[in-house]
Amino acid sequence: MTADSKAKKAKIRSSEADALETDAIETDAIETDALETDALETDALETDALETRKRLRKIFRDKRLSLSKEQQTQAAQQLLEQFQQLTLFHCAQNVALYLSFNGEINTQPLIDYLWSIKCRVFVPILHPFCKGHLLFQEFSQHTPMHKNHFGISEPRLDVQRVCPIENLDVLFTPLVAFDLTGNRLGMGGGFYDRTLAGLANANKNKQAIVVGLAHELQLTSTLPTATWDIGLPYVLTSNKLYCFL
């Protein structure tokens, strides 16, 4: 082989290598653009979902607040009657509830009834050390109260009266809206989602019965969900018990 032939072959190989390198760069650029596009579309979808959830919270909170005092009183009494009739709760001794506000169905008649039958009632307080988490502390007529930084009334912390969530028999959760498959829309802080996730990881042999409480008008056909959302097995309204198991 002559020197010219060798030079031509080397030139061809160099051209082929350059072409392969260019193809690889173009492929990487296309894949990078595709990944960036996917990321942007995902961000846009997540933003849309968050905006939708924010809008739905306002709609359903306004619906709750539109109820008259008489309607609220009637709903609370009917909720209590539903609870009394359901065998699901007959063996409950340790019951976690919450103190209603902002148009939520009034839990006080149910709390009063539970006290009358010697059940222990626990209500949520903000965890003093773990941001975004709740503790459940025993609540009575004589419990010292204060307002937390959300302006919600809660017991003053007494660690001797805190109940581990695995010792609860029933855990009633507040909600802004729920749908026909048991999805729950909360206030957006994630407090109860973290609580329910902790409950799911607790003792499998003794699980609290988890029940959302709501007005009937808080039901909708479907809700947008996020990866951290935990659905409810039951929702109790003034009209009926919804079961999603």
pLDDT tens for 109-141 read 999 999 999 999 999 999 999 999 999 999 999
Q: Is residue 57 part of a domain?
A: no
Residue 41 has a pLDDT of 44
pLDDT at residue 179 is higher than 70: yes
| Residue 214 forms part of a structural domain | yes
Instruction: Say if 62 falls within a structural domain.
Output: no
Q: How many helices (H) and strands (E) does the chain have?
A: 4, 12
Can you give the pLDDT at residue 34? 47
Q: Is residue 98 one of the residues assigned to a domain?
A: yes
| Number of alpha carbons in the 13 Å side-chain half-sphere of residue 48 | 6
Gyration radius of the chain over CA positions: 28
Cα 173 from Cα 177, distance rounded (Å): 12
Is 34 within a domain?
A: no
Per-residue pLDDT reduced to its tens digit, 49-102:
788 999 999 999 999 999 999 999 999 999 999 999 999 999 999 999 999 999
- Whether 125 maps to a domain, the answer reads yes
Average of per-residue pLDDT across 213-217: 98
Region of poorest pLDDT, from 29-33, 106-110, 223-227: 29-33
More confident residue, 34 or 46: 46
Q: Can you read off the two tokens belonging to residue 132?
A: 């975004």
Lowest mean pLDDT among 154-158, 181-185, 194-198: 194-198
Residue 160: give the domain boundaries.
67-243
Domain annotation covers residue 18 = no
What is the full DSSP assignment across 165-227?
GGG-SEEEE--SEEETT--EE--SS-HHHHHHHHHHTS-TTS-PEEEEE--GGGEES-----T
Least-confidence region, from 13-17, 44-48, 167-171, 182-186: 13-17
**Does 44 map to a domain?**
no
Number of domains comprising the chain: 1
* CATH code assigned at 86: 3.40.50.10420
Residue 47 structure tokens:
């933003």
- The overall average pLDDT reported for the chain is 86
Please tell me the distance from the alpha carbon of residue 217 to that of residue 202, in angstroms, as a whole number. Answer: 33
